[in-house]
Each structure stands twice: as structure tokens, then as C-alpha cells.
Amino acid sequence: KVSSALDGAGLPYAVVGDCAVAAWVATVDLAAVRNSQDVDILLERSDLPAAIAALEHSGFFYRHSAGLDMFLDGPDSKAKDAVHVVFAGEKVQPDYVLPTPTLDQAERIAEFATLGLEALVCIKLTSNRRKDQVPVLDLIEVGLVDESWLNKLPDPLRPRLQELLDNPEG
């Protein structure tokens, strides 16, 4: 529903987060896909007003709360079920080692735009919370990410991937 509205409005976006990981995992092993309760999308900050118009036209409700931009799928939806917005090329948290990727790193998988695999792995390793490490472990498990990826990643992310490769159980 979100991708249809954004595509219909001609707005560039990329699904990021666990839904993007699920799309990539599904290219290898549909049975290994882990479901996610929410959706994260990457937008240009300058496109937010147009995204609000497009998504509200599709029945979503825009909210800015606790520093987060989100779209609720109906008036009774909760933030944990929302479509959360992150902005391209910006740090999600001030202490993150890298900003989010830019939208030129997006590609279409299945029915929607998502980040390319390398950019997606970077965004997950930048967050580096356990809930962000688990999807990277899913990518490792299906063979999309392995030791060869250490040379593809920026310096601050290499040790984070190495730790997951060496100790997948945590």
C-alpha cells in the first residue's frame, strides 16, 4: 500500500529495515523470511510534504512524535505498527558512525523499491542493536553475506560484521 502510493506519486523511496531484508532473503529462500510488524522507508527530507499528501490520500495518517516521522495505517494504529521514515543521507541518531544511504542505492525487488544489499547491510550494521543484527544474521544464513563482505564495508562496520560471522549466537 505504501509503495503503491509513493510510486503513484512519482516519489523516490526505498523500503529499508526488516521488510527490505525479508525481500532479499526471499530471493534465496522464501521459508527463511522473518516477518516484521512495521515498515521503514527512506525518503529525501525535501519529499516529505509530497509523501504526506500521497500517503494521506491512501488512508494513512501522518504523525511526528518523539522526533520520529511516521504514517499510521488508520486512526487506531499504533506507532509500533507504523511506517517509519528515515531520511536519506542523514544520521538517524547523532552517535551513529554513518549516515543513512542515499536513494541512488535503491533498486526494485518484487513489487517495491528497496536498498541494494550492500547499502542495506550498512544501515543495519550502523544501528548495531541486537534487533538489527538478527536480520544481518538472516542474510548470512541464506548465503547473501559472508566473509568476502568485510572488504566491501566501510572501516567502522567491518568489526561488527566480523563479530556476527564469528559468533552468530551472540
Q: 111: Cβ–Cβ under 8 A, 6 or more apart, which residues? A: 3
Task: Quick: pLDDT tens for 60-80.
Answer: 999 998 889 999 998 888 888
Nearest Cα residue to 156 out of 98, 102, 115, 99: 98
Nearest Cα residue to 14 out of 2, 1, 26, 27: 2
Q: Where residue 96 falls among pLDDT bands split at 50, 70, 90?
A: very high
Q: Residue 52: what pLDDT?
A: 98
What proportion of the chain, given as a percentage, has pLDDT over 70?
100
Task: Quick: pLDDT tens for 6-63.
Answer: 999 999 999 999 999 999 999 999 999 998 888 999 999 999 999 999 999 999 999 9
Q: Residue 81: what pLDDT?
A: 85
Give the 3-state secondary structure percentages of the chain, helix then strand then coil, rounded to 5: 45, 20, 35
Question: In this model, does residue 170 exceed pLDDT 80?
Answer: no
Q: Where residue 169 falls among pLDDT bands split at 50, 70, 90?
A: confident
- Cell digits of residue 55: 500517503
Question: In this model, does residue 161 exceed pLDDT 80?
Answer: yes
d(CA 89, CA 96): 12
The residues that bridge with 16 in the sheet, in sequence order, are 40
d(CA 125, CA 129): 8
Paired sense of beta strands 112-115 and 106-109, if any: antiparallel
Give the long-range contacts of residues 72-80, CB within 8 A, separation 24 or more. 73/1, 80/37, 80/38
